[in-house]
Amino acid sequence: EAEAEAYKWPLLHQPIFLLGTIQRAAMAMPGLLPKLLPPSIISQRRWLSHRRPPPVHHATTRIRSSSDSSTTTTPATTTTSPAAVKLTYLEFNGWLWELPGGFRVLVDPILVGNLDFGIPWLFDAAKKTLPKSRLEPDGLLAGAGVDLLLITQSLDDHCHLRTLTELAAVRPGLPVVATPNARPILSALPFTHVTYLEPGQSTAAAAAAATVLATAGPVLGPPWQRPENGYIVTAAAGGKNTSVYYEPHCVYDAGFLRDRALRADVLITPVVKQLLPADFTLVSGQEDAVELARLLRPTYVVPMSNGEFDAKGILAALVSTRGTIQAFRAMLADALPDAKVVEPTPGVPLHLRFDDNDNNNNSSTSSSSSS
């Protein structure tokens, strides 16, 4: 088995190196190779991310709130209790979170058009559930009072240029936290308050008792390239801290999480694997998601179905899946019997509540609401 793994390593490394080189060339020469590949197809896998621990930095910056800029906005109304989290899944990799204290986070949104990387004949994906009328950027920002835009990766299925262009036009003062790999895209937009975090760095929101810690995600290219990001977002309210972990490929540095003794009250992760031919993993899950839960010891695990969309094109036919949510539930029940698996419905807020008497270590109820 060890010999097989040693042989597999250079074979897998070569396509990652080549695809990463293509991506960097596309960024350096915009218009020549605009987002040539489908979602996650050049995503480095768990075996690479785990073998190359990211550099750990302890520098801390601060996010300026929208009230610090020339753009004025109506403050969001706090609707969550000090021990409650509300999550709304926007399909693909997108989320809208409301954390304790009313701190609202928009994550990896795709709100404008399809996901096609500029080459719809090769790959063209549309959301299955959400009507477009509910996802207009100006309506979303005005209605939800978003406090932070969070970007995990630099590819279009996370850093969607058409969506970000409209968001920046509607609200340039919206604070943004992103991977430095997304700088070529974000620096060309009129966002005025962008904070770039390397894995291991953290930042604090000025207008809310919330912090954002970047963790290592997949490597998109050669092994010496900077990883993309996952995040642990922690909000304080009512004398308690509540944290959400999010990384959309189930790729993580186990050593980093273990050495820092990090944990999260809510874990959002894929649990069904997405594969290319020859068993090449695009998005992990199943036993890797169980191990991630072991490390973070969440009260709730929220599976994300970022492989469920209506797609056409040559590349769409190459991706297959392995595992089910039911299989993940069974494995997690053996490994972490107290954790609850709660599946989101796109567009329907998922309310996660915690017992105020046990420092958020045990859950009381969870529910979905159409409001």
Domain boundaries, the chain: 2-358
Q: How far apart are CA 259 and CA 57, in angstroms?
A: 14
Annotate 262-295 with three-state secondary structure.
CCCCEEEECCCEEEEHHHEEEECCCHHHHHHHHH
Contact yes or no for 296/246 (Cβ under 8 A):
no
Mean pLDDT of 136-159: 80
Mean pLDDT of 94-120: 85
pLDDT mean across residues, the chain: 75
Sign of CA dihedral 266, 66, 370, 272: negative
For 105-116, how does the pLDDT look when each residue is reduced to its tens digit (9 = 90+)?
999 998 887 766
Q: 169-188 burial string, b = 16+ CB within 10 Å, else e? A: ebbbbbbbbbbbbbeebbee
For 43-69, how does the pLDDT look when each residue is reduced to its tens digit (9 = 90+)?
333 333 333 333 333 333 444 433 333
Is it the case that residue 179 has pLDDT exceeding 90? yes
Q: How far apart are CA 105 and CA 90, in angstroms?
A: 12
The whole-number pLDDT of residue 354 equals: 86
In DSSP terms, 273 is beta-bridged to 322
The whole-number pLDDT of residue 120 equals: 75
**Residue that is written with structure tokens 């930042």 in the block:** 203
The whole-number pLDDT of residue 95 equals: 94
**Residue that is written with structure tokens 């509910």 in the block:** 134
If one compares 85 and 122, the residue with the highest pLDDT of the two is 85
Q: How many CB atoms lie within 10 A of CB 164?
A: 26
In DSSP terms, 125 is beta-bridged to 115, 311
Q: Which residues have C-beta within 8 Å of that of residue 5, sequence separation ≥ 6?
A: none
For 251-298, how does the pLDDT look when each residue is reduced to its tens digit (9 = 90+)?
999 999 999 999 999 999 999 988 778 877 778 889 999 999 999 999
The highest-level CATH class for domain 2-358 is alpha beta
DSSP 1-68: -HHHHHHHHHHHHHHHHHHHHHHHHHHHSTTTSTT-S-TTTT---HHHHHHSPPPP---EEEEPPGGG
The whole-number pLDDT of residue 351 equals: 95
Mean pLDDT of 140-154: 81
DSSP 319-347: -EEE--HHHHHHHHHHH-TT-EE---BTT
Model pTM above 0.85: no
Q: Which two tokens stand for residue 169?
A: 């036009």
The whole-number pLDDT of residue 246 equals: 97
Q: Which two tokens stand for residue 286?
A: 């199943």
Q: Which two tokens stand for residue 191?
A: 């966002």
What is the identity of the amino acid at 255? G
Closest CA to 245 of 260, 175, 82: 260
Percent of the chain with pLDDT over 70: 63
For 158-172, how does the pLDDT look when each residue is reduced to its tens digit (9 = 90+)?
899 989 999 999 999
